[in-house]
Structure 1
Amino acid sequence: MRTAVLRQVRRIEVERVAAPRPAAGEALVELRSVGLCGSDLAAFRGHHPFRSPPVVLGHEGAGRVVRAASGRGPADGTRVAVLPLAACRRCERCESGLAHLCPHRRVPGAGLPGLLAGRVALPVETLVPIDDELTYDEGALIEPAAVAWHTVRAAGVRHGSRVAVLGAGAVGALTAATARLHGAADVLVSDVREAALTLAAYVSGCRTRRVGDVGTEDLTESADAFDAVVVASGHPTCLDEALTLCRPRGTVIVLPMFARPVTAALNPLVLKEIHVRGACLYTPDDFRAAARAVGARTLDVRPLATAEALPLDAAQDVFEAFDGGHDTVKYRLDPSR
């Protein structure tokens, strides 16, 4: 089989390797669609905190089981989305329902195999069956949808909430759509990229606003207006903007990992008693809830999957395009091709 290996910073090589042999409790999965996200790009650029060459990237994936685990898990032929997180299930955090914060967790590229490979051996608990009506590309988008689902829950969004999302990438667009699904009355998505805003509006049905230069002056007319503000952009001024937009005693949720330290004027945080928290990954329950919503298409990810997944041999070109700033497209690769 073939696999795409990040051999050095900004250099991916497609190599032929032997197919893995599943261990006890694992199933062999043929990957059919793998999405790329900002953390993959960070690794490609050499900025990721724990994924560094040589490593196989990719954690947003869907495929089918070609060799089931003995006695449990999905049967041969089952179409699955990959929940790219394996926790120890024994520590205090796991027992408290916080498996995504398990200190012993394994994720693709760090304890679990990266998904940019023809076949991978994965623990059965990471395999979530999907309906035959769902495409593999939709299945691969369950992972970023789960990030959005967890973010909206962390923000406390409920019926009537006003929500601002700073950043109109795939996760930002899905966060806006998920907020609407949870009953938000008003959702605003902002970005500097007109094309990204157009897609976000299509995905979420929310209103959008283009900011000419990311900074607090662009949205000051909305100061103190939002119950929850989600920072879904890694731009260093977004935290200042979020604190401006958040109402007193509202919540700011920070999603990205930043390439360098971020500074912000914290007086609004103090004067408005704003609650700031991070949102990391998702719980298994969040992932399965997102999978149900995507499967029912109440959370419709199809607008993000209009372009065909490209063959694995295109990995270098795809990462270069992503690296070049063409990030209004949700890039996906099909390792089976």
Structure 2
Amino acid sequence: MLELQVKNPLEIEMRQVDPLPAPKHDEIKVKTIYGGICGSDLGVFKGKLPHATYPLRPGHELVGTVIEAGEAAKYDVGTRVVVLPNTFCGECDLCLKGRTNICRHKKSLGVNSHGGFSEEFVISSKFVMPVPDELPSEKAVLIEPLAVVVSAFKKVTITKDTTVAIIGSGNEGMLAALLAHYLGAHVTAIDINPIKLEIIRRIGDIRTVSPEEVSNETFDVVIEAAGVKSAVEQGIQLVSPGGEMVLIGLAPEATLPIVQLVRSEITLYGSIIYKFPDDYLQTLEYLNDPTLNIEPIVSEIFPFADYQQAYEAALSGDFGKILLRF
């Protein structure tokens, strides 16, 4: 079996390994169809995620077909599935409150446990979801990153009259612009990279600007998806009095203007990943709607053998979503 391995930061290789053992009990063996390269995969490659373990098989945005199933598995051979890569225990106090996204014992495929950038992988069947027959695999593989946005949007009020600013046009920022536009909001996408903004314009009637062009404006809802100090601090300045802001990115050095937050009654949310299965079910519903124009976000699909070119494209920052085809 062929798999990718990040041996150490900046060291990635394809290697031949022994076939995987038969799945146990509720496990399934999955033949990978597509995998998406995410910012976390790049962080693992660059050595920027402190909780990553090496050597590591990367990959967590995954769609594949069940080829073998344990005796207690939930899905039969032949079922096409998408993966929940952030596993939870289901037993800690947070899980029992429904906060599985912040489980105290959470594991993340491709970060601190082996992922699925391989021809096959084994996973518990409780951490996958079947894909509707009518949904193409190249769309289904996007469920995981889109679910991040779906979960974040549940925290705020977005209607057809809402003005929404999206700061950052990485994969999550693009998907946030896509979903806000789909929901009928008046969307402004903000970034310093004109190539990324051009991709967003292909989605639909979305205004795209540089950070300097919105310095005197305010918005009902601001989504921060850049994960940098300047984006967080500008984002708070862009929230209308009584408005809302969601932080998707991780910007540890950002500071908050407490007086402004209090006097303007700005509601600030942090949002990490998603709740399973609810957010996945909602995301599948969106993906299955042909009016959701998600195709422009996928820039390139590389064969698995061309993983080096795929990583180079993703690392360049000048593309949308990069997929590997297995």
State if a TM-score over 0.5 links the two structures. Answer: yes
Is the CA contact 2:35–2:61 (under 8 Å) kept in the aligned structure 1? yes
Provide the secondary structure at the position in 1 that maps to 2:242: strand
Work out the CA distance in 1 between the residues paired with 2:123 and 2:90: 16
Which stretch shows the higher mean deviation, 68-77 or 246-255? 68-77
Q: 1:144 to 1:152 in 2, by over 3 A?
A: same
- Pick which of 283-292 and 111-120 moved more: 111-120
Cα deviation for residue 307 of structure 1 reads 2.9
Match of 1:329 in 2: 320
Q: Give the direction of change, closer, same or farther, for the CA distance of 1:329–1:158 in structure 2 (3 Å limit).
A: closer
- Equivalent residue, structure 2, for 1:20: 20
Of 220, 225, 236, the residue aligned with 1:243 is: 236
Residues 248-301 of structure 1 show CA distances to partners (whole Å, capped at 9, x for unaligned) of 12111111224x523455543233122222110011111121012112334342
- Unaligned stretches of 5+ in structure 2? none
Give the direction of change, closer, same or farther, for the CA distance of 1:111–1:235 in structure 2 (3 Å limit). closer
The residue that corresponds to 1:230 in the other structure is 223
Q: Once structures 1 and 2 are overlaid, which stretch shifts more, 112-121 or 131-140?
A: 131-140
* Cα shift at 1:306: 5.3
CA gap 1:291/1:49 in 2 versus in 1, 3 angstroms: farther
Deviations 1:139-181 (Å, cap 9, x if unpaired)?
1111111111111112333453221111122221221222244
Q: Distance in 1 between matches of 2:46 and 2:113?
A: 21
CA–CA distance in structure 2, aligned partners of residues 105 and 123 of structure 1: 14
**How many residue pairs end up in the alignment?**
324
Question: Normalising by the residue count of structure 1, what TM-score does the alignment of the two structures yield?
Answer: 0.89
SS in 2 for 1:77: coil
Partner of 2:142: 141
* Partner of residue 5, structure 2: 5
| Conserved 8 A contact 1:88-1:94 | yes
Q: Would you say the 8 A contact 2:156–2:221 is kept in 1?
A: yes
Give the Cα–Cα distance (whole angstroms) in 2 for the partners of residues 136 and 92 of structure 1.
Answer: 35
Q: Deviations over 1:88-111 (max 9, x none)?
A: 112222222211111112220356
Shift in alpha-carbon separation, 1:146–1:199, aligned structure 2, 3 A:
same
| CA apart distance, 1:189 | 1.1
CA contact (8 A) 1:237 1:264 kept: no
Describe the superposition over 1:102-153 as per-residue Cα deviations: whole angstroms up to 9, x where unpaired: 1112220356431111111111122211133322221111111111111111
C-alpha distance 243-188 of structure 1, shift in aligned 2 (>3 A): same
1:97 match = 98
How many Å apart are 1:27 and its aligned residue? 0.4
Match of 2:131 in 1: 130
Residue 155 of structure 1 aligns to a residue whose secondary structure is: coil
**1:299 aligned to 2:298?**
no
SS of 2:314 mapped into structure 1: helix
Unaligned runs of 5+ residues in structure 1 are none
SS at match of 1:296: coil
Q: Does 1:194 align with 2:194?
A: yes
Matched, 1:277 2:278: no
Aligned CA distance change for structure 1 residues 289 and 48 (closer, same or farther; 3 Å): same
Structure 1 pair 123/112, CA: closer, same or farther in 2 (3 Å)? Answer: farther
Kindly indicate whether the alpha-carbon contact (under 8 Å) linking 2:228 and 2:249 is maintained by their aligned counterparts in 1: no
Pairs within 5 Å for 1:33-72: 33-72=34-73
Are 1:46 and 1:52, in contact at CA under 8 Å, matched by a contact in 2? no
Contact 2:53/2:111 (8 A) holds in 1:
no
What percentage of residue pairs aligned between the two structures are identical? 28
What is the CA distance between 1:325 and its match in structure 2? 3.0
Q: Which moved more, 1:9-18 or 1:45-54?
A: 45-54
Letter aligned with residue 105 of structure 1: K
Q: Structure 2: how far apart are the matches of 1:201 and 1:172?
A: 13
Q: TM-score, normalised by structure 2?
A: 0.91
* Deviates further, 136-145 or 293-302: 293-302
- Helix, strand or coil: the match of 2:94? helix
- Aligned AA for 2:17? V
What is the alpha-carbon distance in structure 1 between the residues aligned to residue 59 and residue 205 of structure 2?
29
Of 16-25 and 6-15, deviating more is 16-25
CA offset at residue 319 of structure 1? 1.9
Distance 2:55 2:104 in 1: 23
Counterpart of 1:219 (choices 214, 217, 228) is 214
Q: Which moved more, 1:122-131 or 1:110-119?
A: 110-119
Is 1:319–2:314 an aligned residue pair?
Answer: no
Q: Which residue of 1 aligns with 2:166?
A: 165
- Amino acid of the residue matched to residue 214 of structure 2? L
The CA distance in 2 between the partners of 1:40 and 1:295, in whole Å, is: 26
Which one scores higher on RCO, CA 8 angstroms, separation ≥ 6?
1
* Backbone CA RMSD of aligned residues: 2.1
Deviation at 1:52?
Answer: 3.7
